Every structure is written in C-alpha cells, then in structure tokens.
A and B are shown apart, each in its own frame.
Chain A
Amino acid sequence: AQSVTQLGSHVSVSEGALVLLRCNYSSSVPPYLFWYVQYPNQGLQLLLKYTTGATLVKGINGFEAEFKKSETSFHLTKPSAHMSDAAEYFCAVTPPYGNNRLAFGKGNQVVVIP
C-alpha cells in the first residue's frame, strides 16, 4: 500500500518569503505524484504533477516541486509567498499502473503573515 507523509499541519510564512511544504511517500515503485490546493469551501485544484521525465516540475501560481527518488520526496516550493497562497495543500500519490486511486497526505494549512 502506498502512503504519504506531510509534516506540520500548520505552516506560517511571511509574505514574500519562501514557501516550502514537504512530502515523502512510501511505495514499492516510484508512483505518480501530485500536489493539490484547497481553498475554503471549495474542492481540490491540481497545482502540479510528476509522472515521468524531468524531475523538476512547474505548476500553476508560481509553484514547483522536485521529485527525488533517492529521498522518496516531492517537496513543493514557491520563492515568494502571496496572501492569496493561504489555503490547504495536499500531496497525493497513485501507483503507475492500472489504478486511479489517490492516496493523500494529511495536508498543510498555510497561513501567510503580512
């Protein structure tokens, strides 16, 4: 079974500072990896994904993530936080074969301090 670990349920960051959200996965084979964002009273919006190829992937709203197989990690970063980045962020994985089932981490609630 696959699992995802996101440490630190609440993350505070100053406006203009680096946003770093950590995601580690446990899987027998490298999975497909996703980051989703959820704004209050809304569903999940896909930020970016890694399937194959280049390990540094760029997403929407200035976010990017790097897949590191040796560290089983897929950390999300953004160089400069905006107030609009305040939301909950989820890392998710799915196996790269015949399975459309996402396993999510517990999420990080990001608070941006002006």
Chain B
Amino acid sequence: KAGVTQTPRYLIKTRGQQVTLSCSPISGHRSVSWYQQTPGQGLQFLFEYFSETQRNKGNFPGRFSGRQFSNSRSEMNVSTLELGDSALYLCASSTGQIPYEQYFGPGTRLTVT
C-alpha cells in the first residue's frame, strides 16, 4: 500500500496570507489527523476528521480549519498567517477504530516571513 502523502513539502508565505495544505491517507483509512510540530511546543494535535466530519479538535485558534472529502483526502487551511505558525505540519492516517494506530506522512514545512 502507498503511504500517507502530503503536498506541498515546503512552503514559504508572508504574514497575513493564507495557506492550504493537503493530505492523502492510506487507501481504506477513513480518519485523518493533523499535528503541528515546533521546537518550542513540540507535537500538538490540531484536529481529526473521520468520514468527512470533524471528530476531535485541539486547542488552536479558529484561523486553523480543515475539511475532509468523500475520498478521505483532507485539507488544512490557515488564514491570516502569523510568524508563530512556522512549523512542520504532519498528517496522520488511521482506520479511525481502536487501537487508533496512526501512520504519518512526511509533513509540510511552512515558513512564514
């Protein structure tokens, strides 16, 4: 099976702009979760989508949003970018059922200048 793919791998944006990141999960997986990784805060959960519905949400401002399509592909959007949004954004794919084993993509490195 093909693994989790994320596009683009690298992105440079300016403060105030918005950005959309994409994630394609493993075939047959219905759950996609998003995580933010920074040197200061480590790995933090953003949200999870399961069968096109947001099932869990982390403690991030409303500028961070996501959606999932009927083919389980997911997008994450960040509006009004801030310098602190610079991070590695990781997508994780799972069946969505216990024991919730998650498989991660290579990530998108976002730099905000």
Contact = CB atoms under 8 A, between A and B. Distances in A.
Interface residue range, chain B? 20 to 34
A96 B104 contact: no
Contacts of B99: 32, 49, 51, 96
Interface residues of A, number: 24
B105 A100 contact: no
B58 A101 contact: yes
SS class of chain B's interface: helix, strand, loop or mixed? strand
A43 B58 CA distance: 20
A90 B98 contact: no
Interface of A: 32, 34, 36, 41-46, 49, 51, 90, 92, 94, 96, 99-107
B96 A43 contact: no
B102 interface: yes
Contacts of A49: 99, 101
Contact of B45 (A42, A45, A103): A103
